Amino acid sequence: MRDGLGMKSLEATYRKFSSRGVDGASGLLGIGLGLTLALEVTTMRQSDLSTVYAAVATFSRLCALTGTYFALVGIFLVARIPWVERGVGHDRLVTWHRKLGPWSLYLIGFHVLFIVLSSAGQDGVMLVVETWRMLNGMAWMWPAMAGFLLMILAGVTSYKKARAKMSYETWWIIHVYSYVAIAASFMHQVLNGQMFVGHPLNRIYWTSLYVLMATVIVLLRFGIPLVRSVRHNLVVDKVIVEGPGVTSVVMRGRKLRGLAAEGGQFFGWRFLTRGHFLMSHPYSLSAAPTDKYLRITVKDLGDHSRSVALLKPGTRVFVEGPYGAFTAGRATQPHIVLIGGGVGITPIRALMDEFKNGVQLDVIYRASSSADLVLKEELDYLVAQSGGSARVHYLVGSRREYPMDAKSLQALVPRIADSDIYICGPEPLVDAVRKAADDLGVPKNRFHDESFSFS
């Protein structure tokens, strides 16, 4: 457990080094963009700007380079690089990934459009005819076209309305194809791009970016998780039905403190049983980890989460993580407000274990009905054992009954403006509390959020 006041000096040092690391990463990305643009600029010829069609082709190549670089950076943002995750936070990285993704797709789309326009204009043929000629006359064009179509599919399914209408499993499979899409375009680029043909150093730089991306993905998303899972021998210990559609899974392992997990963080979980192993599902810890046990609490939101209740004791578990900066160590104030919406109470419950020794807690639990109050008995027990340092407020009912605005929150917790605020729940709830915090003058570094979203 953590003392929020005693951790200030250590946390300040941690943030200092994390900030330097993030600044360094930002600098590297900027240098990479400059080098990427230089590929085209340094290999341009006078003829590349001699006519309108030639200039359009040049512009299309700049779009292709920049768009592909953005796509590679987007993958690095969600590659779960530990020091970047700790310094920035998983939610922020996902937000940056989503904002960068459309620009990558637009730029690559512009490349496709403008290179066809330029070639068709120079050859004096229709766009359809030129497209067919390019697909059949240039090396690796069909895979590149397939990759572009897969990128469009991934882009369309990333919009909020589209995500809301599909299961996590469907979204995950489509986004795996985005890796295929980026890989499929590589040979087309290095074999046909004038900035690579006859320029071995340029080709080495571009190839290195792809190799680095592949290495990071394989190592961080598969290699290290596999080794750590085997080392800690994690298996399902027991499955507990917490309420209608809500199940806790307790996992047993050895020397689990070696995972360096904290309450509030999440793992990607794979259970070695049918329907669970092929894809990783993100679930937050619902209790602070110990040296022997980890626990998650899952709500029935789809086929995978529903079947979690059917897991058998002894089932081997593979984990990726821990991930996220939703941790007690980021707090700077002696008073903490923890807000959970629905099953979003699970990381909040785990965070309660991490605060002690003079830290005052106000826990706000927002639910539509009493049946949705997951882990209520545990919350009440922790409050009873806190010696008066913790309180829990159950807000059960409609949004109209319990608006999460500045006035309502301050009436409930008078000290909220001088507190660190942690919130986990559906995006509308997180957005409402964020606005309330802004209205109350809470600095951004004292607002910590974890929203439910695909990543």
Report the CATH number that the domain containing residue 141 is assigned in CATH: 1.20.120
The pLDDT value given to residue 171: 77
Same domain? For 113 and 165 the reply is: yes
Q: Is residue 125 part of a domain?
A: yes
Query: In terms of domains, do 300 and 346 share one?
Result: no
Q: 189 and 85, same structural domain?
A: yes
pLDDT of 111 reads 97
Cis bond before residue 102 (omega within 30° of 0)? no
Residues 286 and 428 in one domain: no
Q: Mind giving me the DSSP string for 362-396? A: EEEEEESSGGG-TTHHHHHHHHHTTTTSEEEEEEE
Question: Is 72 part of any domain?
Answer: yes
The pLDDT value given to residue 72? 93
Asked whether residue 204 is domain-assigned, the answer is: no
Q: Which structural domain range is residue 268 located in?
A: 232-323
Q: Is residue 63 part of a domain?
A: yes
How many residues are given for the chain?
455
Cα separation, 113 vs 182, in Å, equals 18
Q: Are residues 180 and 73 in the same domain?
A: yes
Final residue in a domain of this structure, among 284, 304, 323 = 323
Q: Are residues 419 and 372 in the same domain?
A: yes
Place of tokens 């309502």: 408
- Listed residue (22, 25, 27, 24) closest to 89, CA to CA: 22
Domain containing residue 347: CATH number? 3.40.50.80
- State residue 12's pLDDT score: 47
Last residue of a domain, one of 323, 349, 371: 323
Do residues 340 and 307 both lie within one domain?
no
Is the domain of 60 the same as that of 157? yes
- Domain end position, chosen among 267, 300, 323: 323
Number of domains the chain is built from: 3
The torsion defined by the Cα of 287, 289, 291 and 295, in degrees rounded to 10, comes to 60
Q: How far apart are CA 147 and CA 152, in angstroms?
A: 9
Do both 185 and 292 map to the same domain?
no
Task: Give the pLDDT of the chain (455 residues) as one tens digit per residue.
Answer: 444 444 344 344 445 545 565 667 778 889 999 999 999 999 999 999 999 999 999 999 999 999 999 999 999 888 888 777 777 777 778 888 888 999 999 999 999 999 999 999 999 999 999 999 999 999 999 999 999 998 898 888 877 777 767 777 777 788 788 888 888 889 999 999 999 999 999 999 999 999 999 999 899 888 999 999 999 999 999 999 988 888 999 999 999 999 999 999 999 999 998 877 777 888 999 999 999 999 999 988 765 677 888 899 999 999 998 988 889 988 999 999 999 998 899 999 999 999 987 899 999 999 988 888 989 999 999 999 998 899 999 999 988 899 999 999 999 999 999 999 999 998 899 999 999 999 999 999 999 997 655 44
Per the CB < 8 A criterion, the answer to whether 438 and 431 are in contact is no
Shared-domain flag, residues 287 and 313: yes
CATH of residue 292? 2.40.30.10
User: What pLDDT, on the 0 to 100 scale, is given for residue 5?
Assistant: 40
In a domain, 217, yes or no: no
- Both 17 and 164 in one domain: the answer is yes
**Cβ(187)–Cβ(143) below 8 Å:** yes
Task: Kindly state whether residue 206 falls inside one of the protein's structural domains.
Answer: no
> What DSSP character marks residue 311?
P
Q: And the tokens for 443?
A: 């600095």
Q: Where are the beta strands (DSSP E) in 15-169?
A: none
| Co-location of 302 and 340 in the same domain | no
The amino acid sitting at 117 is L
Cβ 361 vs Cβ 388: under 8 Å: no
CA–CA distance, 31 with 428 (Å, rounded to integer): 37
The amino acid occupying position 81 is: I
Q: Are 287 and 263 in contact (CB under 8 A)?
A: yes
Instruction: Tally Cβ neighbours within 10 Å of residue 189.
Output: 20
Is 76 within the bounds of a domain?
yes
The answer to whether position 249 is within a domain reads yes
Separation between Cα atoms, residue 389 and residue 338, nearest integer Å: 13
